[in-house]
């Protein structure tokens, strides 16, 4: 494990607990006291403040990167040097060029690589995504993802040089991969329109952003991200298709509500802002946030010699989309997504949305009225005029 902080401990709880046969054997931390404490807490025999020493440890089979964004490339290149499988927290890089270098490095080294995008492994997402794949929503027209909270835990997130950006990079990477998964990861993202601003926090990066992402098949994605939201961690997704709609509320409103004066209350859930009054705890945070299913996929895939659901390639595509978002936020224009490496479909066009009623008419809408008869709205194919038809 590279990193002994907030996300490293989340990862450790899940990967050592879920399959019950995985063990952290080496921990790297920049601070000796943190490395020692992590090693003690997770019964890890080897600790080091030297990254290469931790990676090269003979018992290490796979390296999990839980470091600040500006340290990812250094860690990945050391994994390539020592031929160690590697999985990394999101985002893959601070920008697409950095991500592309890491992607090419692991592929040239021939090592297993996984992108730890936990929110496409949550139980609710897995169920919803399977429904979409099975055609329950028809053709996906629009996918929206929202992640907002009062801001990240560690100091480096707030430094634009170390982090590479603000809430768009930190939270938008989740939202982009969620919506991309619903639309189809083989469908090419073509352009982005984004608004971003620094509204509250005394930082150089943005603390609030909203974007639209157009895909080659005519589908559109939307993300809303913020470090200014008050009230905890808000995770919501919506998917709309020609045959249906899905709404998901993953956090904040969990179906578990509790009131307390604060007596005996301590930790409630990630980024909760209060431990008094009405609270919304989470029953099994590791599972609800997707960590358990994510590590199961990573380790099972590595053991089978197969690629996991999320690889460095996915992280690269996400970075390329976010680069376009940042460019659009400055230009106030639709900006193209620059993908030097694209491994999906090419040359798609927007399909027809029209539904035939018969040889002469398109069906616009069908509904049952409150007075018990069926009403049809039709469009004449020849004249283009709309007609209303009542069926007894």
Check if the beta carbon of residue 82 is closer than 8 Å to that of residue 59. no
Q: What is the mean pLDDT of the chain?
A: 94
Peptide bond into 91 cis (omega under 30): yes
Give 155's DSSP letter. G
Supply the pLDDT for residue 252: 80
CA distance 225 to 368: 39
Query: b or e along 233-244 (b: 16 or more beta carbons within 10 Å of the residue's beta carbon)?
Result: bbbbbbbbbeee
pLDDT tens readout for residues 357-383: 999 999 999 998 888 889 999 999 999
pTM of the full predicted structure?
A: 0.93
- pLDDT computed for residue 264 by the predictor: 64
* 118 and 294 Cβ atoms separated by less than 8 Å: yes
- At residue 370, the pLDDT reads 85
Query: Is the pLDDT reported for residue 45 higher than 80?
Result: yes
The pLDDT of residue 171 is above 70: yes
Average pLDDT, integer, range 183-207:
97
Kindly report, residue by residue over 127-168, the tens digit of the pLDDT: 999 999 999 999 999 999 999 999 998 999 999 999 999 999
Give me the helices (H) in the chain, please: 6-17, 32-41, 51-56, 72-81, 96-109, 123-133, 160-163, 167-170, 172-183, 285-288, 291-304, 312-331
Please say if the pLDDT value at position 270 is more than 80: no
DSSP string for residues in 293-339: HHHHHHHHHHHHT---SS-HHHHHHHHHHHHHHHHHHHH-S-EE---
10 Å Cβ neighbour count for 247? 11
In the chain, % of residues over pLDDT 70: 98
- Alpha-carbon span 316 to 296, nearest angstrom: 22
Our CA angle for 95, 99, 103, nearest 5°, is 170
> In this predicted model, what pLDDT tens digit does every residue of 286-308 receive, in sequence order?
888 999 999 999 999 999 999 99
Q: How far apart are CA 250 and CA 287, in angstroms?
A: 11
The residues, any chain, with a CB within 8 Å of residue 353's CB and separated by 6 or more, are 242
- CA–CA gap between residue 23 and residue 46 (Å, rounded): 12
Q: What domains are there in the chain, each with its CATH number?
A: 6-90 (3.40.50.720), 120-284+311-336 (3.30.360.10), 355-391 (no CATH)
Q: Is 196 left (phi over 0), alpha (psi -120 to 50) or beta?
A: beta
Q: What percent of the chain has pLDDT over 90?
A: 84
């Amino acid at each position: 494990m590279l990193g002994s902080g907030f996300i490293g401990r989340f990862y450790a709880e899940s990967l050592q607990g879920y399959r019950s046969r995985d063990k952290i054997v080496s921990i790297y931390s920049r601070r000796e006291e943190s490395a020692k404490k992590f090693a003690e807490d997770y019964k890890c025999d080897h600790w080091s403040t030297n990254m290469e020493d931790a990676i090269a440890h003979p018992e290490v089979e796979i390296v999990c990167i839980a470091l600040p964004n500006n340290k990812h490339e250094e860690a990945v290149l050391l994994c390539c040097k020592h031929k160690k499988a590697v999985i990394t927290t999101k985002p893959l890089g601070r920008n697409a060029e950095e991500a592309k270098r890491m992607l090419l490095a692991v592929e040239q080294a021939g090592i297993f690589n996984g992108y730890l995008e936990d929110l496409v492994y949550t139980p609710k997402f897995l169920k919803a995504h399977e429904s979409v794949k099975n055609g329950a929503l028809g053709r996906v027209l629009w996918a929206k993802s929202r992640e907002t909270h009062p801001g990240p835990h560690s100091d480096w997130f707030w430094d634009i040089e170390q982090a590479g950006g603000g809430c768009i990079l930190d939270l938008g990477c989740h939202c982009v991969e969620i919506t991309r998964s619903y639309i189809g990861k083989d469908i090419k993202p073509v352009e982005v329109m984004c608004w971003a601003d620094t509204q509250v926090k005394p930082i150089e990066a943005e603390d609030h952003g909203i974007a639209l992402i157009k895909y080659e098949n005519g589908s559109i994605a939307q993300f809303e991200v913020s470090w200014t939201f008050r009230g905890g961690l808000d995770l919501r997704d919506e998917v709309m298709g020609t045959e249906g709609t899905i709404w998901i509320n993953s956090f904040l409103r969990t179906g578990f509500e509790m009131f307390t004066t604060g007596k005996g209350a301590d930790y409630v859930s990630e980024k909760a802002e209060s431990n008094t009054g009405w609270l919304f705890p989470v029953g099994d945070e590791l599972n609800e946030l997707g960590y358990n299913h994510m590590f199961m996929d990573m380790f099972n895939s590595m053991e089978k010699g197969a690629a996991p659901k999320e690889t460095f390639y996915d992280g690269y595509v996400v970075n390329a989309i976010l680069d376009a978002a940042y460019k659009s936020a400055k230009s106030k224009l639709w900006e193209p997504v620059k993908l030097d490496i694209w491994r999906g479909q090419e040359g798609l066009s927007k399909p027809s949305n029209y539904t035939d009623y018969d040889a002469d008419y398109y069906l616009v809408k069908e509904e049952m009225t409150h007075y018990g008869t069926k009403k049809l709205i039709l469009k004449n194919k020849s004249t283009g005029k709309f007609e209303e038809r009542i069926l007894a």
